Amino acid sequence: MELLTTNNVWMMICTALVFFMHTGFAFLEIGLTRQKNTINILFKNIFIITSGLLLYYIGGFNLMYPGFAEGSAGVLDFAGFGIAPPENGMTAEYADGGYTWWTDFLFQGMFAATAATIVSGAVAERMKIGPFMIFTVIYVGLIYPIAGSWKWGGGFLDQMGFYDFAGSTLVHSVGGWAALVAVWLLGPRIGKFKNGKPQAIPGHNIPLATAGVLILWLGWFGFNGGSVLSADPELTSLTLVTTCLAAATGGIIAALVSFIKYKNLDLTMFLNGILGGLVGITAGADVMTPESAIIIGGIAGAIIVFAVAFVDAIKLDDPVGAIAVHLICGIWGTLAVGIFSTNPEHTFLIQLTGVACYAAFCVIASFLIIFTLKKTVGIRVSEKEELEGLDAHEHGMNAYSDFRLNDH
């Protein structure tokens, strides 16, 4: 019982750290976008975590961990509504004594909400709040748990040998594919492209965005550290070391490559490089050597610079770089398991198969949801609303109502 208590306390701390990541996402998104849309972004982030937890309670948890019957296809199953615990829910038999049923629900629920938060940043400044909320309910309540069950719930990809330790694909790419589809169906912000060339639309508070990234890095101690699913001293320590080394290398390489390519020291590229490194190591943080983590993070940092440029080149407007960070680096991190893992059973081909399965499922599902919303209620605000700001038109509020510029 003492071991169970120790494990459970560690898992609860990690749950709190993952919850805190929502503060980081909120700060990053509002910092990289314009002042007139601050309330809108904050509202979406608060809605995601509140509705996400309720949806996960109602059915998401049991859809993601249905207890696939032996010999089943491992694609779709449902263990019923609510989260009534099994008979051994508070004993060492549950989850090998790693934590209790209640902690399991809460920890996994925090992950579920993260997938929709990734989409929030990508569609910032021009998507109607109502359709976004509908999308969130369907994607977090239905699509994410089904996708998660394929690996973490013991489904067909798990049986195949696919590996994703903490969610480079299951969380980040699942959100990233939806972000890609949403950005494509929405179209760019007014003024983003002139004569076919991308124009910078600076964020209004880069210090806040920087704080957001540091909070996200802190939260990753719980995101990856908690994914050990116990307080195992050796494995948690290794996981946090590989996580931090990948983050640090990702930031440094992104800043360096950006400087070589653009001849300036771009802080936002530095920040996204850190996030890219974190996303990249997440799939295999527990099966990597520190040296491998540095390589994976460094490649992710380089990927960020070219991915951001590529997204602009194909005329997609992603205000916070979510597609480059979460989708492209998520794919890289998942494939990297098949290259660098210390476990010989992890193969590149199986990892690629997993990536392809999630790509097909998430692209089709998100397209059906968002395209249906586009053709029925519409997903984009009017030109006037976009130019004047979503805060005033959708919320009737100003994020900085007492703020006045100093004329001196």
111 residue type, one letter: F
Asked if residue 342 lies in contact with residue 289, where contact means CB atoms within 8 angstroms, the answer is yes
Q: What is the mean pLDDT of residues 293-312?
A: 98
| Residues 143, 381: Cα–Cα separation, whole Å | 26
Residue 9 has pLDDT above 50, yes or no: yes
User: What pLDDT is recorded for position 324?
Assistant: 97
Using DSSP, state whether 164 is helix, strand or coil. Answer: coil
- Cβ burial of 201 (10 Å; 0-12, 13-18, 19+) is middle
List 198's β-bridge partners, or say none. Answer: 193
Using DSSP, state whether 127 is helix, strand or coil. Answer: strand
User: What pLDDT is recorded for position 37?
Assistant: 97
Asked if residue 404 lies in contact with residue 395, where contact means CB atoms within 8 angstroms, the answer is no
Q: Look up residue 324 and give its two tokens.
A: 């480059």
User: What pLDDT is recorded for position 404?
Assistant: 54
Residue 406 has pLDDT above 60, yes or no: no
The pTM (predicted TM-score) of the whole model is 0.95
Q: What is the mean pLDDT of residues 324-330?
A: 98
Q: Look up residue 60 and give its two tokens.
A: 């998401």
* Pairwise pLDDT comparison (333 vs 195), residue with the higher score: 333
Residue 17: band (very low, low, confident or very high) from pLDDT cuts 50, 70, 90: very high
> Which is nearest to 135 in space by CA: 19, 24, 55?
55
DSSP conformation letters of 265-322: --HHHHHHHHHHHHHHHHTTTTS--HHHHHHHHHHHHHHHHHHHHHHHHTT---TT-H
- Cβ burial of 309 (10 Å; 0-12, 13-18, 19+) is middle
Residue 407 has pLDDT above 50, yes or no: no
The residue behind tokens 């300036």 is: 264
How far lies 236's CA from each of 151, 292, 398, in Å? 21, 17, 43
The residue behind tokens 């990233």 is: 176
User: What pLDDT is recorded for position 95?
Assistant: 85
Asked if residue 135 lies in contact with residue 369, where contact means CB atoms within 8 angstroms, the answer is yes
Q: What is the mean pLDDT of residues 211-220?
A: 98
Residue 408: band (very low, low, confident or very high) from pLDDT cuts 50, 70, 90: very low
List 380's β-bridge partners, or say none. Answer: 127
Intra-chain end-to-end CA distance of the chain, in Å:
65
| 43-86: pLDDT as tens digits | 999 999 999 999 999 999 999 999 898 888 999 999 999 998 87
| Residues 43, 31: Cα–Cα separation, whole Å | 15
How far lies 54's CA from each of 86, 149, 176, 388, in Å? 20, 18, 23, 34
Q: What is the mean pLDDT of residues 253-268?
A: 97
| 162-189: pLDDT as tens digits | 999 999 999 999 999 999 999 999 999 9
Long-range own/partner contacts, residues 194-199 (CB < 8 A, 24 or more apart): 196/315, 198/312, 198/313
Residue 403: band (very low, low, confident or very high) from pLDDT cuts 50, 70, 90: low
Using DSSP, state whether 194 is helix, strand or coil. Answer: strand
Q: Which CATH class is domain 2-67+90-395?
A: mainly alpha
Residue 2: band (very low, low, confident or very high) from pLDDT cuts 50, 70, 90: confident
Residue 94 has pLDDT above 90, yes or no: no
| 123-166: pLDDT as tens digits | 999 999 999 999 999 999 999 999 999 999 999 999 999 999 99
